[in-house]
Structure formats: C-alpha cells, structure tokens
Structure 1
Amino acid sequence: MSSFDPITMATNLATYDVQPFQQRYQMQADKYQAQITALGKVESALREFRTAVTNMNSSSSNIIKNTATVSQEGFLSATANASAMAGSYQVFVEQVATAHQLSTGMPADLDANTEIPTTGTLDLTVDGKTLSLDLSTVDTDGDGKATMADLVSAINNDPDNPGVNATLVRSNGQTHFMLSSTETGVANSVNVSASGTGASWFEDAFTNTSNISTPQDAVIWLGAEGSGLKLTNSSNTFTGVIDGVDLTVSKAQVSGEQPLTLTIGADDEATKEQVNAFIDAYNTLMSTMDEYTGIGGEDKARGVLASDPTLRSIESQLTSIIRGEYNGMRLSEVGIEIDRSGKMTLDATKFEEAQKNNSAALEAMFNGDGNLLDSIDTMVDPFLKSTTGLFKTRKDSLQQNISRIDDKQATLERKYDMAYSRYLKQFTQMNTLMTQMNQTMSMFG
C-alpha cells in the first residue's frame, strides 16, 4: 500500500470546495469593473461634447465668430467676441502704457552680501497700498544679520506686497538695487522710504532714487488725433471701448500720422470650424455609446452597457433636442443632419448659405435661453455633476458591488484555509496509519 502527499491532497480538495465560488465572484467583479471603465469613457466623451457646446455658448462666444483686422501691423491688435457689431473704426495710438522702474542711491560697492540694518521699517507704496516691511524680520537664518539678497527675497515674497518687484542688477562691475512696478500706468508708481534704521546710507538710498522708466498711461484716440475721442488706460489693453472688442496697443504712432483702420466683421471660416468641432464631439459621443451598448451578434460581443438606463436616457434626450425646432428653425435647414447610422453631418454649401443670408436666425437658433445649445447644456448637467451626477452615482454603486464581492472573496479565503487545515489533518492521520500498516506487513515478509 503506497503512501501519498497530504499537502497535495488537502490543497486539491480545499480548492475544489471554493473554486466555483471564486470563478463566479471573479466574473461578477470583472463585469462590474468593465462597466465602470465603459461609463468613464462615455462620461469623458459627454464632457468633451459639453465643452464644444460651451465654446459656442458663453457670454463672449456664440455660433457666429467675429474677426478684427487692423490696417497696419505693429501698433495695435484687436479681438472681437460674439457681441461685436460689424463696422469700421479709426484708431490713433498716441502713447503706450509703461511700468515704473527706479534705481536707489545705494553705495558704489554694494553687492548681494552687503549687510543692511535690522531695525526700522521700509515702506513701499503702489496705488494707495503700502507694505511696511519690518527690517528685523528680514534676517531669516537667525544669525542677527541681513543682506541685500535677503531684502530682495523679503520684498518679493511678502504676502502684502502691493505690486513691487525688487532686483539686484549688475552693470559695468557695479550692483544696483532696483524696484519695479508689476503693473503699468501712472497710478502704479512706486514710492519708497526707510525710517528708524539708524543707518543714514540706507535711508538716503531710498530718498535719492532715479527713474529708469517713467510710468505712463496708454492713450488712444477713436478717430483722428486731436479731434476724436481721447481715451486713457493704465493698461495697454482697452476693454469694452467698442462693444465686444478688446484693443491692445504695443507701439505709439508719430504725431500727425493717419489713424489706423480697425475693421470688425464675421469670420465665416472660424464659425464653420467651430460647428465642425461641435459635430465631431457629438459623433465621438455617439460612437462611444454605440461601442458599449451594442446588442452583439455572430461576430461581435454584446456591449458591457447594453440596455443601460443611463445611456439610453442620454441618447433619447439628446436625439430629441438635436431634432427639435428652435426659433422656428431646425438644424437640417442649415445643413446639419443626422444620417441613418446616427452620425451628424454638415452640408458645407447649405451652411455657408445660411451664414451669408440669415446669420441672425442662425445665431438665434443656436444661442440664447432655451435654444439649442442652452437646451443641451441643461440636459447634460445632471449627468456630469461632480458629486451628485448620474455617472458618479452609477460608478459609485458599481464600486460598492465590487467591494461586496471583495468581502465575499475574503470570506472564501477563510473558508479555504479552514478546509485546507481540516483536510491536511485528516490526510496526515491517514498517511500515518498507512505507513504503520506498511511497516507491520513488511514484518511478515
């Protein structure tokens, strides 16, 4: 009578006891994880679609894109948003805005390691806001000393900095301590003074300053220089001077020159590109949903989200919106149609005709409260909320199912361990008895 291995026998029988449950649990976990992954893909495609919608439906953008061109480059640039009215304007650039830069009257032998007073206050004021820097706090390493490099760091990193940059600039073998306003314009002039330091050289340095760059506002004329509407701004960008148009000046013209011509008009190509982005995002969304909701066939597996209620709801609502009527018009009337396969297509010729002959109606159909893009945004919002969205709720529910399966698998592991221990004990005892019997039989030859 031959002996056997109790460990192998115990392992095989314990595995046999739990294997059907393990396989079932693993299949369930794999299914739930596949659904979570698929929902994530669809959610991502829906977010991309919503982004395309938002890019065409905001306070500064709609279906109709405008363009702004200037007759001569180098002096002025302009951007026009959806509210800009087509037209031609004359603009003369008299002056560009500059920031205030000043150099302090520090000693000629100044360098980054020059020690500064550690008592008193350095006051820096810009546009009515003041930083009163306590010089005793400039010493950061606690050695009782502070240097110019420490001062630069203390100014630039102070949370109450009113808009001043401090730098040490080296030129011709000499180091200069400079202060610069972070913003342009006269209102952002830098004023600085030191007091209570007990060091006259330090306080005098902030009294005897010299301008490297004088602060000034930007000045333009809507119309001819001297006779048009004069406008000043601390920044080089003028916002809202012309409705929907931002003007940024970069170089002053010479007095007496002719004003620049600014032309605002519809940008048909940009409008069509924007619509194509909308169509591509829609088709990507639909293709993604089709990939995971297919019922399958002879040569194609059933989608992991087939008959899923969340996706059915999205498709049903979105199809209804896309095929709806807005401001008395439908998408098909401007060349945007859904083919038999559910893919959105653009008839470029038909769309260009709508742009040319009825742009106001085109805009009214897409934009505005309750119209196409607003309806889409309202529809997708409940699905995409970060904390209460339907996608998050579905994925959380599936993840909970996986967690419950993990708990079952942990219980199954304990069941395996118990079965293995029981079988091992039994087969070990049996193997011992068989060994004893073999020994007894051998005594009788």
Structure 2
Amino acid sequence: MALTATGIGSGLDISNIVKVLVDAEKIPKEAIFNRTEQSIDAKVSAMGTLKSELAKFQDALEKLQSGDELNQRTVSTGDSSYLTAEASKSAQAGSYNIQVEQLAKQHKVAGINVADPALPVGDGSLQFSVNGSDFTVALDGTESLEDIAGKINNASDNVGVTATVITSDAGSRLVFTSDKSGLDNQITVTATDTSGTGLNDMFNGANLSTLQNADNAILHIDGQQVTSQSNEVKNAILGVSLNLTDADLSKTTTLKIEQDDAAVKENVKGFVESYNALMEAIDKVSSYDSEKKTAAALQGDSMIRSLESQLRGIVSERVSVDGNSSALYELGIETDRYGKMSINDTKLDSAIADNMASIEMVFSTAGTGLANRFDDIIKGYAKTGGLIDDRKNAYTADKQRLDDQRDAFKLKMEQLEARLFKQFNAMDLIVGQLNQQSAGIVSGLNSLPGVVQQQN
C-alpha cells in the first residue's frame, strides 16, 4: 500500500529538504535576474533623464538660433490709443513723433432694401471687380438674399468680396464689403439679367448705394506724410510695423525703439544654465564613485562619451563670417576644466551694448552658429528614432529576453522540485517498507518458545 503523505515512512521532513535543495539553486540565479533587471531599469531611467535635459537645452538653443529672437527690440508708444508697434532686429534705436490723420477704410456698397429677403431676386449673373481682378456669380432665379450671399462668399475665384444680409427698419439688403482697405480696393458691381430686370433693379446704377467710402491711411512721421492702403504700415520706419487704431491729427504719439539688452542677456544666461544642467546630468548617469565603489547606470557607455565629447568640442570653436570671427570666451562665457560654463557679467554686458553683431554671429549664423551646431548634434540623439530611442529599444529587447529567461528558469525549478519530491517519496516508501519488515521480524522472534523478553 503506497504512502499518501511525505516523510511518514522515514520520519524525514521531505518538504523542507526539497525546499532547501531547490532554493540552493534558485536563489542565486534569481538574484542575478534581479540585479540584471535593476541594471536595465536604471539605464532606461538614465536615458529618460538625459533625453529630458537635452530637450530643455534645445528650448534654450531655440532662443539663440534666430537673430530675430536673440537681437530683440523694446518698443514703447506710451499710453497712445492711436497706434501700436512692433520692431524687428533691423530696426534702429531711436525716437519718432507720429500723428495719425486718417485710418484706412474698406469699401462697402449695398443693393436696395426688400421687404421679404426670402423671395428670389432674378435670373442672370453678378460680376464683381476689385483692384483689376474680377469674378462672376451665376444665378438661376431661385436664390434668396442669403443664397446669393452664400454663392458669393463660397466662390472659388472670389477676388476679395464678402457679402452679408443686413436687416434694418427699412428692410433687408445685400451688403458687399471689400476684404482689403484702401482706395485701390474699391468694389464695382455689374448686374446682368437673363430674363426680367430683378438684378438690375436691385444692384445697378443708383440702386447700388455706398455705405462706406474706401480710404487710405494717412500718417505723419516726424512731419513726413506716409500714405498706406492698410492700417498696418510696414517699413515706413525700417524694421518697424505700425498698427493704426485711431486718428486725430492734433495728437502726437512718441514711438521709442531700444535694444532689449535684458532679454538678450536672459537668453544667453538660459543657454549657460541649461548647458551646465545637461553636463551635470551626463556626469551623474555616467560617473564612477571611487569612495562608494559604485558605477552610475551608463558608466563607460560609448554613446554618452561621444555626446559629451561633441558638446565640449563645440564650446571652444570660433565662428567666422566675412573675415570676422569670435568665440564664447570673448563674449564673457567662460568654461572651467570640468566643462562647466560661467558668465563674466562685465564682458557680456559690454558685448551686448557694443558688439551685438558678434553675439548674433557666434550663436545664430546659419549652419556654423553654435546654437545651430549644438541643436544639430542633439537632434541626432533626442529625435524620434534617434540614438536614445535606439538604445531604449535595445533595453526593451534585453528586458524581454530576461523575462523569457525567468520563465524558462521558473519552469526548470518546478521540474526540479517535482523530480526531488518523486525521488524522496520513493525513498520514503522503501524505508517505510523496510521498517515494517524489520518490525515483523522482531515480533516473530519475540514470539518463539523459550524467548524471554529482557526487561529494561
């Protein structure tokens, strides 16, 4: 009869013996799996940290890549209600007195009023002409005022006319407005009837009313008259866009343009701080602590060494344009032997005030400017499908292989445990049978005649 519980025959704790034997093989291997997994997770985290710092550095570089962003201007118009202004880097510092005599206006014309805007007008066409260009809308005699407005506004060849229906105490009428202001953009409407006179009666001759005359904007800059088709006046002052908002020739607005030194310095400071943060992040994920004898997650990684080498190499480069050249240290941006940048405020303030062209050249020159060079390098690492993504994909593959190894090892340990239980249970059964046989022999001997049981 087979035993149904382990250890009954032999008296041994078979379950514990099997556990100890299995653990002796399993625990060291699982420790290796855990260390490997922790190493992979640490590398993934380090790559995430690196990519985040690269993105922050790119944000700082973006403000230096374009001369327009770096070489900024401050514009002041006081509390003027007559105009606002914007200035590009080409605008020269200065002060200008401006009077707005007249705002530019759009031409508006309208047909006659009708009592019921839903009734059809006529069969034929309406031709619109604006500034030498024209387009025609065909009508079949079934369209209401709203339908006609829709056909005009949706015409693919519309040259700049917006139609709308206005309903007043006098009735409803179609109003046509030029999309652009100025005398050059007046609207001409020609109505042609195929049958009847409905379109002519509404839009031709005296039936077409002028609601607003087209006008050019007129302003005076330091006493010099400027005429503009639009209320947005560009480059009347080089590099300056004026947006006219009201007109009164007796009122003067003083426009002041100055170089925005504070914004330039803030952008350069942001570059230095972001560069240092990036280099610190690189050092943190790739260094070795000799005291604790521990290596960072990416210590010895060739990709990290290459990135750091490229970044440090660019810092010391000179940028040349048309025979002129300059470098960061000449602008007051210094680098120590550890690769960390610092700003010499006196030198940087002097460069901003007296040599802004050199700052723009060093950072913003197309192709060779340092901001563009740094950005090109970082894109190779941080872009989608770049080197960092490739490395993360490799870590993902390593993690999958590790999971597969774990599963295979788990199955192996389950098979080992089952085999040991089978072997020990077989031994236990044999030992139990031997014990039973031994007990039977002793009992038989004790029952023989003349055998006296020894008393203890």
TM-score (norm 1): 0.67
Structure with the larger RCO, 1 or 2 (CA within 8 Å, 6+ apart): 1
CA distance, structure 1, for counterparts of residue 335 and residue 154 of structure 2:
57
Instruction: Name the SS for the 1:241 alignment partner.
Output: coil
Contact 1:29 1:402 in 2 (8 A): no
Give the count of matched residue pairs: 411
Q: Could you say if the C-alpha distance between residues 74 and 403 of structure 1 is closer, same or farther in structure 2, counting changes exceeding 3 Å?
A: same
Match of 2:184 in 1: 187
CA distance, structure 2, for counterparts of residue 125 and residue 21 of structure 1:
86
Larger Rg: 1 or 2? 2
Match of 1:209 in 2: 208
Per-residue Cα deviation, 1:335-383 (whole angstroms, up to 9, x for no partner): 4334677554434454334434554555554454676xx1331343154
CA distance, structure 1, for counterparts of residue 385 and residue 351 of structure 2:
37
Q: 1:236 aligned to 2:240? A: no
Range 79-88 or range 403-412, more displaced: 403-412
Contact 1:32 1:401 in 2 (8 A): yes
TM-score (norm 2): 0.66
CA distance, structure 1, for counterparts of residue 126 and residue 293 of structure 2:
76
Deviation, 1:69, is: 3.3
Q: 1:223 aligned to 2:229? A: no
Q: Could you say if the C-alpha distance between residues 341 and 410 of structure 1 is closer, same or farther in structure 2, counting changes exceeding 3 Å?
A: closer
Contact 1:32 1:399 in 2 (8 A): no
Q: 1:53 aligned to 2:82? A: no
Match of 1:98 in 2: 105
Q: How does 1:399-418 map to 2 (within 5 A)?
A: 399=393, 402=396
Q: How does 1:10-49 map to 2 (within 5 A)?
A: 39=47, 42-43=50-51, 45-49=53-57
Q: Could you say if the C-alpha distance between residues 335 and 382 of structure 1 is closer, same or farther in structure 2, counting changes exceeding 3 Å?
A: closer
CA distance, structure 2, for counterparts of residue 149 and residue 302 of structure 1:
76
Q: 1:132 aligned to 2:136? A: yes
1:275 to 249, 268, 274: 268
Contact 1:39 1:391 in 2 (8 A): no
Per-residue Cα deviation, 1:117-175 (whole angstroms, up to 9, x for no partner): 69644444444444434446x9xxxxxx7554444444444444433333334444844
Q: Could you say if the C-alpha distance between residues 394 and 333 of structure 1 is closer, same or farther in structure 2, counting changes exceeding 3 Å?
A: closer
Deviation, 1:82, is: 1.9
- The CA RMSD over aligned residues, in Å, is 5.3
CA distance, structure 2, for counterparts of residue 338 and residue 174 of structure 1:
77
Instruction: Name the SS for the 1:60 alignment partner.
Output: helix
Q: Could you say if the C-alpha distance between residues 166 and 231 of structure 1 is closer, same or farther in structure 2, counting changes exceeding 3 Å?
A: closer
Query: What is the identity, as a one-letter code, of the residue corresponding to 1:377?
Result: N
Q: How does 1:246-325 map to 2 (within 5 A)?
A: 246-254=241-249, 257=250, 260-295=253-288, 303-325=296-318
CA distance, structure 1, for counterparts of residue 124 and residue 66 of structure 2:
52
Aligned-pair identity in percent equals 28
Match of 1:392 in 2: 386
Deviation, 1:302, is: 5.2
Q: Could you say if the C-alpha distance between residues 109 and 22 of structure 1 is closer, same or farther in structure 2, counting changes exceeding 3 Å?
A: farther
Match of 1:375 in 2: 370
Q: Could you say if the C-alpha distance between residues 356 and 102 of structure 1 is closer, same or farther in structure 2, counting changes exceeding 3 Å?
A: same
Contact 2:112 2:203 in 1 (8 A): yes
